[in-house]
Chain A
Amino acid sequence: MFEIKNVSMIYDMDSDEKMYALNGFDLILPDKGMVGIIGPSGSGKSTLMYCMSTLKKPTEGTIIYNGQEITTLSDRQREILRKNEFGFVFQKHYLVPYMTAMDNVVVAGISNDKEIKDKAAEILLALGLKERDFNKRPSKLSGGQCQRTAIARAIINNPKVIFADEPTASLDHENAFNVMKILKRYSEDRLVIVVTHDRSILSDVDITVEMWDGKLSSKSQERKKDEE
């Protein structure tokens, strides 16, 4: 599904000492499964995810998604791609504070109101929220409920890829485990990319991509070999 070739992302392009967030990065990912991208802070894992999800444009290199080069798309084309094909779970849930849990899910929907509300209800129930919580605002929900609502928002359009950036960072162990279980379930027929620095939550991933200084670490390849 994703073919990343020689991608570099340089910050402070104008300064003498260029900072490489990604440095000639190559990676190929399948259509489905759960991919964990792990690495220390500053290793470029979030930058990689944002480049793949079109939120950032790499300085050089190509990212091919389903046969289409996505780094050269216009802003509008990237917006449409994000809306129709991708789902996002961020480190903080970024729920709209004045909207109910239901509205926070519906806001990302691309079909008509009735259809999307039915689907949102179905997903929220499947993710463990009670019907009485649907009309609660984020301030009245627990951290775990907020993150599950954010996941519901991410999957409301049944996206082909979910990008999850540190989705369990603000959760306790139990909630973190539950969130990963939901994402794992979704990855049975879709691609889920989880960026984290917490190795303990990656026990169930199908592919682990370890990063170091903007490059693929040798460990990730070894691990893949081990699993094969």
Chain B
Amino acid sequence: MKRKLSALKFVRNNKKQVWVMMVAIALTFMTMYIINFLLLTTSESFKELFWEQPKKVAYVSLTPGTMGVDKEDYASGEEYNLAIDTARNKIIEDIKKHEGIVDATLTQTLSVGYQGIVGDVGYDFPLFSKEQIPEYVNHMEARLIEGRMPEGDGEILVDETILKNQKMKIGGYFNEQNFGQTFKVVGVLESEYLVCVGTPMGYTNSGWYIVVLCDEANSDMTKLLSDIGIIPTENDTIFDAPDWADMYRTMVTEQIDAALFVILVVVSIFLAISILVAYVSFMRSRVNEYCLYTSIGYGRKDVYGMIMREIFIIFGISIIIGAAIAVVVMICFGTFLLEPLGLIYKYFYPNHLLRILAAFAAIIGLLQIPVSVTIGNIKTIDMIEE
């Protein structure tokens, strides 16, 4: 029977050394994952806004040229404006007739901010007449959970997440910093898509859009407009699902991914250097032990196997400890930091976890260098004694 050199003996009998290394690896793992967790909370929070909300509502603002109105054709400004209104109304009617469209309305909009852990984003929401609001709330699958529906001018319903995030409250003014004491928060909505809606208060100069309530299959406004014979140009403003998805990819996920990758690489390099230094020292202090093993009949492969098993045990236990600490830290962050900020988060990011594990695998791969050098330099006792 062939006995293996036990890796557990070193781990069990060198608790101080092994624990120092395990704690270092565990804390590094935990830090890496927590950084991922916090940064990805931003993209997770923004996801509903960028990715989901535009599948149900789009904002379109077309230039007169796109609507087929040329100023040169009209003698006065009045005639010109009337032509624009007529063309726009025609387009709205055509949009309404399109398959998958619930409604289309020319309305004012307001913008609201949403602060992530890193960066923030602002988005527009419509200001409808009070009669239109229930239809919009219903279409957006939102539910009034506190307060009341708008009854007068300048009354706003705010999603509960945005309410927390922007530190607003029922009865308070909506975005007082930008709009002064114009709009009042009268109700809180529970919704999947960070839905806000309200009634206008005169002319706020905050933007006019054709607000299109659509289904997911018809949320591409460029395609929809071309279906009704309108070809948008780059001078037109369209906030629809493809546009938001593109912004989400380029401004959120790619940026955060790039930042996380840089952080992962930098942390991994520092960890790799410290682990390499520690391991070289570990192995130097054990040269006589390795020499003894080969002298009494174990092969270099046996010694290599033992060292690798030790490394796997140390890394394995460290990662388990790191993961356990990370879970506790994430729960604390979630409860005491992210929820009060109205941020959306989740604990498990399999791709990023795999990326961190791959970094640790690469460090174990790097450890092959000192391990191989040590194995190559193993002598038998006779050579030591000489």
Contact = CB atoms under 8 A, between A and B. Distances in A.
A75 interface: yes
A58 interface: no
Contacts of A96: 289, 292
Nearest to A98: B13
Interface SS of B by simple majority: helix
A49 to B, nearest CB: 8
A91 B296 CA distance: 14
A182 interface: no
Contact of A99 (B3, B9, B382): B9
A80 interface: yes
Contacts of B5: 107
A75 B299 contact: yes
Given A79-B299, A110-B3, A111-B1, A99 B381 contact: no
A56 B291 CA distance: 14
Contacts of B297: 79-84, 86, 108
B288 interface: yes
Contact of A94 (B10, B13, B292): B292
Contacts of A97: 289
- Taking residues whose C-beta sits less than 8 angstroms from the other chain, chain A's interface range is 20 to 34
A165 interface: yes
B295 A82 contact: yes
Interface residues on B, range: 20 to 34
A203 B3 CA distance: 38
Interface string B352-386: 00000000000000000000000000001110010
A56 B382 contact: yes
A50 B382 contact: yes
A193 B287 CA distance: 27
Contact of B288 (A50, A94, A111): A94
A55 B1 contact: no
Contacts of B289: 96-97
Interface of B: 1-3, 5-6, 9-10, 13-14, 288-289, 291-299, 380-382, 385
